[in-house]
Amino acid sequence: MSFLMPQTGATANSTARDEWNLFHFLSAANEDDLLRLMLGQMQEAMVQLDQDGRVIFANGPAVTLLGPAHLLQGRFWHQWLAPRWQAQIKQLMRRCQDKQLTLAPTEMTLQLGKGRSLPVSLSLSYLPAKSPSFVVTLQDLSASKAELDKLQQLASKDSLTGLANRRVFIEQLEQQWDKQTQKRHPISVVVIDVDYFKLFNDQYGHLEGDKCLQRIAAAIGLALPHPQCLAARYGGEEFTLVLPGCNGDMAWQVASVIRESINQLAFPELGAKVSVSQGIATEINGQFRTAGALLFAADTALYRAKAGGRNRVNAAG
């Protein structure tokens, strides 16, 4: 008399597969065969190493991640690690053999050759069997890293113009202020405001206003003298520049290029022209105590440019 429940087709197939796996586990010739059978059933990428760190076995997911098994076999594991991890992992492996320690999941980057790198979460376990070995478990972080990079890009960019946003501008200003003043190098800030932009919006509509800001932002971005400089949309129709290493004359030259470029922008379908007013402030000999004071001085210079008739550049005196 059987007390087993009737099996459906799917259940029967699953049971048969489990019995097949169990048969092979039980018939394993030794501990090594059993371990490799177990590793082969794991969904995580797992690599078995000997006591010296050479690859003995890599399961299917590991082969998918790292490359063909015959190219992995016999290689020293630390060859895939970035230099700062190589000595640390080798030291840990020596300690593991004495104290049976493990390495908890740790983010690092594998160097796979031909310029290919792979961000992973890596853990290491010591197996004190008759033939002691290590098992490395890997989790591919490429997708999550790419998504994080994308989110960081979105969080740092102004969605309309593609320039840096206000938060990034403030961060960069503070960082460059510290860096340049410590070296006694100059740093300049330029604040840019589109003249009569409210009237432009009222006359031509917000959609055309957005297009206008995009073209102005492109012209500003092209005027940056070197990659360390930053252009940002500070808010509304106001833009800002951080110019590390640029003295007052250099900042004035950048502002002049921007002024001329924007004066040349044409909107033939609208019959419109646009211009900008700009204020400049430069720290070079300790005249400003903080980055905030430098920005305030540039903003004050901007308002003097606007009061003086607009479409001009004014430098803090």
Closest CA to 33 of 54, 18, 48: 48
Instruction: Give the bridge partners for 46, in sequence order.
Output: 137
Residue 31: other Cβ atoms inside 10 A: 13
Q: What pLDDT is attached to residue 2?
A: 34
Whether the pLDDT of residue 220 is over 90: the answer is yes
Residue 129 has what pLDDT?
A: 74
36: tokens are 């490799």
Share of the chain above pLDDT 90, in %: 51
Q: Are strands 313-315 and 276-283 parallel, antiparallel or unpaired?
A: parallel
Q: Which CATH code for domain 157-315?
A: 3.30.70.270
pLDDT band at 70 (very low <50, low <70, confident <90, very high): confident
Decide: residue 9, CB within 10 A, 0-12 exposed, 13-18 middle, 19+ buried: exposed
Task: Write out the two tokens for 258.
Answer: 């921007």
Which tens digits make up the pLDDT trace of 91-118? 777 776 666 667 788 888 888 877 788 8
* pLDDT at residue number 97: 64
> What's residue 108's pLDDT?
84
For the cut 90, the answer to whether the pLDDT of residue 39 exceeds it is: no
pLDDT score, position 1: 35
Query: What is the chain's mean pLDDT, rounded?
Result: 86
Pairing of strands 187-194, 230-235: unpaired
Q: How many CB atoms lie within 10 A of CB 307?
A: 10
Q: Where in the chain is the domain with CATH 3.30.70.270?
A: 157-315
The CATH classification of domain 15-145, taken from the options 3.40.47.10, 3.30.450.20, 3.40.50.800, 3.40.50.80: 3.30.450.20
CA–CA dist 107, 140 (Å, integer): 10
Q: Return the active site residues.
A: 237
Q: What does the pLDDT look like over 129-171, one tens digit per residue?
A: 777 888 889 998 888 888 877 777 767 899 999 999 999 999 9
Encode 37-83 in three state secondary structure.
HHHHHCCCEEEEECCCCEEEEECHHHHHHHCCHHHHCCCEHHHHECH
Strand order in the sheet with 187-194: 230-235, 238-244, 187-194, 276-283, 313-315
CA distance 280 to 288: 13
**pLDDT level of residue 293 (50, 70, 90 thresholds):** very high
Residue 7 has pLDDT above 90, yes or no: no
Say whether pLDDT at 291 is over 90.
Answer: yes
Question: pLDDT class for 10, splitting at 50, 70, 90?
Answer: low
Q: Point out which residues pair with 136 in neighbouring strands.
A: 47, 124
- Sequence ranges of the chain with CATH classification 3.30.450.20: 15-145
Q: What is the pLDDT of residues 168-212, one digit of tens each?
A: 999 999 999 999 999 999 999 999 999 999 999 999 999 999 999
Q: What pLDDT sits at residue 101?
A: 63
Instruction: Output the pTM of the full model.
Output: 0.61
